[in-house]
Amino acid sequence: MKTETKNRIQAFLGEFVTQLTIVPYSLEELEQAYPFHSLFFREEALKAFKQQRHIVTRMGQKLYPTLAEMIALDRYSDVHRNYRIRATLDAAKVQTIEGIVDELRRKSRKPDHEEEIGAIIKAKSRARQDIVTAADLYIGDYYLGPFFTEIKSPLPNLDICAESKKAMLLFIALELDKGHEPQAFLSLTYNPFITREQYRHWPTFQIMDFQRQVLIGPEFWDALGGEGTYHELMQIVEKVKQETSWS
């Protein structure tokens, strides 16, 4: 990453940490609210447990999408967060996409990227249908072709996986109609299982072609900024940890 990008990321992370509102809770309140948790968590751990949901929510809403945008802008210019697409698409393709997602939810088919794209390409009718889809991050001038991604936590539930899959396939169908080579992924911001091979979360595997439709942890950040981006990002995180009271 460019030096100015690294500096912007460091400033953003520092501001995010210092401005994050931490709600104070008394130990008595926490023990009343979570009577059994006190068996396992002592005072400070119990307070941290209570704050965790608030912090994780803010990370998902602001931290990850903003970091992704900053990193993408280091290399590309046509970069947008919360990118909404309104268009018309062959109604047969829309029905095919909805059918694929429904069958995946019902376990009547297994995810297969090439098979899914083949079915969408073959679907044709004379009718057109208005559609709306959205990407958490869109890169129009991505080097492999227009890039569309849903940015989620590493353990998305079945509904989130299904909604993301539909959005991805709609985007692919639209871009294929334009003669482009679309790139569409479910991006998981970190990997609590450490390696791709160790990753285990059934909703992801039920809906997504894990090898071809999912970027996880370092893969995601490197896809945005190039090889080594995740390592550079972790170096910045370490600096911010040392500079803030959260270290």
**Which tens digit of pLDDT belongs to each residue from 142-187?**
999 999 999 999 999 999 999 999 999 999 999 999 999 999 999 9
Helix (H) or strand (E) holding 132: strand 128-139
Query: Over 80: is that where the pLDDT of 72 sits?
Result: yes
The CA distance from 177 to 216, in Å, is: 28
Residues 6+ apart with CB under 8 A from 134: 82, 83, 84, 85, 167
* Average pLDDT of the chain to the nearest whole number: 93
Mean pLDDT of the 80-97 span: 97
Mean pLDDT of the 92-112 span: 98
Mean pLDDT of the 210-221 span: 98
More confident residue, 244 or 185: 185
CB 182 within 8 A of CB 162: no
In this predicted structure, what is the pLDDT of residue 179?
Answer: 96
Q: Summarize pLDDT for 15-62 with one digit per residue, the tens.
A: 998 887 666 777 788 888 888 887 888 777 887 777 787 788 889 989
In this predicted structure, what is the pLDDT of residue 54?
Answer: 76
Give the percent of the chain with pLDDT over 70: 97
Mean pLDDT of the 236-246 span: 85
The CA distance from 60 to 189, in Å, is: 9
Query: Over 50: is that where the pLDDT of 74 sits?
Result: yes
Mean pLDDT of the 204-214 span: 98
In this predicted structure, what is the pLDDT of residue 22?
Answer: 67
Mean pLDDT of the 113-137 span: 97
More confident residue, 193 or 33: 193
Give the percent of the chain with pLDDT over 90: 79
Contacts by 226-233 with C-beta closer than 8 Å and gap 24+?
226/75, 229/1, 229/71, 232/1, 232/6, 233/9, 233/67, 233/71
In this predicted structure, what is the pLDDT of residue 247?
Answer: 43
Mean pLDDT of the 197-212 span: 97
